[in-house]
Amino acid sequence: MSSSQAIEQAVADKPKHQRKLVNAVWEPFLQFKLLMYMLGLTALVAVLLGAFLYVAFGNLIGSISTAGAGASYYEDEISMQLIYLFRYCGALFVLYVLLLAAVCVAYTHRLVGPFRPFTRHVEELAKGNYSSRVVLRKGDVRMLNEYAERLNELAVNLETKDKHS
């Protein structure tokens, strides 16, 4: 039996760890920091967009407000539409922040989450339990699968050496 077949058999026989919702927030500081960077960039873009809109439409609103008595209808209409615009933009901003937070948690969970099985595996190897194997989820970062395979090969080699000793 080759080492890769032995690894696949050991992984198939090993019970999977139950994933808990608590594990989604494994590195809260990292997730919060990523969220703050993304919100900061969003705020910068929003300020630039607001400045552009102010310059683009400032003259139009100014000309209507100085047009005289007949313009009061248009002033009221523009004021009402601006109130609706701010309400909708506020609601969209809250929705955006919630979606951004969810994306940050999901992304960092997929990026940092595989280190938990690596840590468990190395701890088991240090205790002398060479039958331990690293099992990653399908959605984890692919680049880490190579390291998991190498650690599993190491465990197989240590296990065979331990049995022959």
pLDDT tier, 22 (very low <50, low <70, confident <90, very high otherwise) = low
Which of 2, 3, 30, 32 minimizes the C-alpha distance to 151? 3
Q: Do 128 and 105 belong together in one domain?
A: no
DSSP code string of 3-18: HHHHHHHHHHHSPPPP
Q: How far apart are CA 77 and CA 72, in angstroms?
A: 8
Give the range of the structural domain holding residue 8, as residue numbers without chain letter: 1-14+113-165
Residue 21 DSSP one-character state: G
User: Which of 111, 130, 153 is where one domain is finished?
Assistant: 111
22 located within any domain: no
pLDDT tens-digit series, residues 25-61:
566 777 788 888 888 888 898 889 888 888 877 776 6
What is the structure's pLDDT at 141? 75
Amino acid letter, 128: G
pLDDT-derived band at 153, boundaries 50, 70, 90: very high
Please write the tens of the pLDDT for every residue from 89-110.
888 888 988 888 888 888 877 7
- Identify whether residues 95 and 32 lie together within a single domain: yes
Q: Is residue 21 part of a domain?
A: no
Q: How many domains does the chain have?
A: 2
Confirm whether pTM is higher than 0.75. Answer: no
Co-location of 119 and 161 in the same domain = yes
Residue 4, in any domain of the structure: yes
Structure tokens at 111: 């990026």
Domain match, 51 and 86 both: yes
Torsion on CA atoms 100, 101, 102, 103, rounded to nearest 10: 50
